[in-house]
Each structure stands twice: as C-alpha cells, then as structure tokens.
Amino acid sequence: MLHTDLSRNTLRQVFEDHCLQAHAGVPGVLRIDGPAPGPSLGILAMTHGNEPAGLAAFYTLLQAQTLQQQLRCGRVYLILNNLAAGRRYFEEAQDLSFTAHYRFVDQDMNRMPEPVQGELAGDSSEIRRARELLPIYAELDAVLDLHSTSAPSAPMLIEIDPEQSPLQVPGVNVMLRGILDHLIGKALVSLCGQAKGYVLECGSHEEPASLLIAQEAAWRLLEQLDMVMPRPHAPSPLTIYQIYRAIIFPDESYQLQRILHSFECLPAGTLLAEGEGQPIVIDRESWVIMPPPRLKPVHPGSEFLYLASRETS
Ligand SMILES: [Zn+2]
C-alpha cells in the first residue's frame, strides 16, 4: 500500500523511530525475517542527509507491519545510512528549498574510498558510519539505495551493472548509464560486497511524487526478488542517457552561464561556464543531467552536473 500524504513530521517520526532500532549493535538498522530462506535485501535511506525519500519506503513497509506479514522468504534490512547528517537535517533545516548543507557532515557518503583488505581508511563521520555498517552490507544479496535531487527532475535509475536487468518501477522511465565512472569516489552500493545494486533518484527532495516512487521501488524490488507476491504490471520502456562527462569546476571563480534544467539538450559548442581559467565549452550535443538549481556548486570540487548522450532502449 502506498501512502500519498506523508508530511515532514511523519518522515521525521520515521527517522526518530528508526534511530532507536539496532541490529547486531549497529544503530539505525532494522532486520525483518521472512518465514523461509531467501535473499538478503538491504533498503538504504538517507545516504545523503537531506534526501528523506527512503524514509517513505520504510514507512510503507513498516506501517501496520505490512512487510512482516507479506514477506515470503529471506530477510530485509532497513538501513538508515547517514544518521548524523539526517539528524542535522531534521533538527536544523528551515528553508527546504535549499538543504545542500545537510547532505553530509564531513564527506559525501556516496563518494567513499576504495576499501583496502575490507577496511575503510579515514576518520570522518561518514567513514565511521560506513565502517560500522560494512559487516551488514557484506551480508546483502541485493541493495536498493534511495536518493533524490535538489532540482525538479523525473525519477532516474542509476545503472550499476549493465549485465543486470533494471529494476522495473512504474513511473520510472529514465536510466543513467555509466555515471559510476565519473564519480569522485565509490558509490556507497559498491561497498555492499557482491550484492546486486539498485540506485534510484526518486525525483526532487520531499516532493510527494518522489515519496511515492520510493515506496513503489521498494515494493517492486521485493516483488522482482520473489520475496513478496508480485503484482502484475506492464514493463515501461526506458530512455537511456549515457553519461560521458561530469562537470567539475577547476576553482571557485567558475560559474554557469545560466541556470540549467534537467534533461535540457544543449547543442555542440555551447559555452557552459566561465571562470578565471579556460571557459568550459561542450564539444557535442549533450543532455544535462542532475543540474542543481544554482550557478555555482555548494561543495567546491564536487561533480556539479553531468553531460550525457541519449539512447532509446
Ligand atoms: Zn543522494
């Protein structure tokens, strides 16, 4: 059952309740066991502290013990990833149109270092949290990481493994291919051992539509893994955007020429941004992916937006 009326207060309550859960001594993790053996699925919320869509998925699964009653096999871990950033977001964020400062505490939890012999080096808030979650991540056969975007956008699947069939979610008609190659660091799902990874940008933060997509995605993955009774649905075609470049400004003097919109098509030769060094000009027809609604990045040195070519499936 999907819930259309989730308020910020309800999401905050889901967050607070989940912070009190613990599995194997790790806070913010709840495990639900089915009556028969089966896959271990992890559903991840708030990898970024200002992206509460995953809490809507927790709500639909936990409300009235719905998942507990419907789970046919296996086990589901509901994991609140960035507890510290999420807490700051719920306690401090006033202007919900601009929450980028609550994305993380010390470093982006979706840009992790490469583990060395199973260990993560470093001592940030996010590294410490990932380190305590690693043993749980290692148990997963499949993982769904639920995100959202700062600017209005259609929901987008992030392709993790081209060999893997995509998650079918009604209302999700876009898939981004090749983005992992352009991230400065490893996506969090890469830490989840051999698990099949599914990452979904559900739409913009706190939009009611994004909260619905997150709920739908959680149920559809459970169905796809045969962990709950499948509901019929017609597969919808995906438009695939092949990411070929992340735009990272060389220094803080740079800014875009204008605000860009999600999936906007720019012709070859477009002057994208200027600063004290070389201007940034795009060399081919490109679609704009995940542009923030501003001219300069909040976090200098991060990927500010992506450029893609377009394919149809
Ligand atoms: Zn995110």
Q: What is the pLDDT of residues 106-120, one digit of tens each?
A: 999 999 999 888 889
Q: Write out pLDDT tens, residues 123-177.
A: 999 999 999 999 999 999 999 999 999 888 999 999 999 999 999 999 999 999 9
Centre of ligand 1 from the C-alpha of residue 145, in Å: 9
Average confidence (pLDDT) over 30-48: 98
276: CA distance to ligand 1 center in Å? 30
Looking at residue 312, what is its pLDDT?
66
Q: Do domains 8-224 and 243-312 have the same CATH topology?
A: no
CATH 2.40.50 fits 243-312, yes or no: yes
Give the distance (Å) from ligand 1 centre to CA of residue 37: 32
Phi, psi angle pair for 309, to nearest 5°: -100, 165
**pLDDT over 90 at 275, yes or no:** yes
Q: Would the pLDDT of 94 be above 90? A: no
Mean pLDDT, the chain, integer: 95
Residue 267 C-alpha from the chain's centroid: 29
The domain segmentation of the chain, as residue ranges, is 8-224, 243-312
Give whole-number Cα distances, 21 to 73, 111, 126, 297, in Å.
Answer: 22, 26, 19, 35
- pLDDT tens, 205-235? 989 999 999 999 999 999 999 999 999 888 8
Span from the CA of 134 to the centroid of ligand 1 (angstroms): 19
The answer on pLDDT for 277 being more than 70 is yes
Q: How far is the CA of 202 from the centre of ligand 1 (A)?
A: 10
CATH 3.40.50.720 fits domain 8-224: no
Distance 187 CA to ligand 1 centre (A): 10
- Using a CB cutoff of 5 Å, list residues around ligand 1, an ion: 48, 51, 147
CA of 223 to the centre of ligand 1 (A): 24
Residue 188 CA to residue 44 CA, distance in Å, equals 10
- Tell me, what's the pLDDT at 313? 53
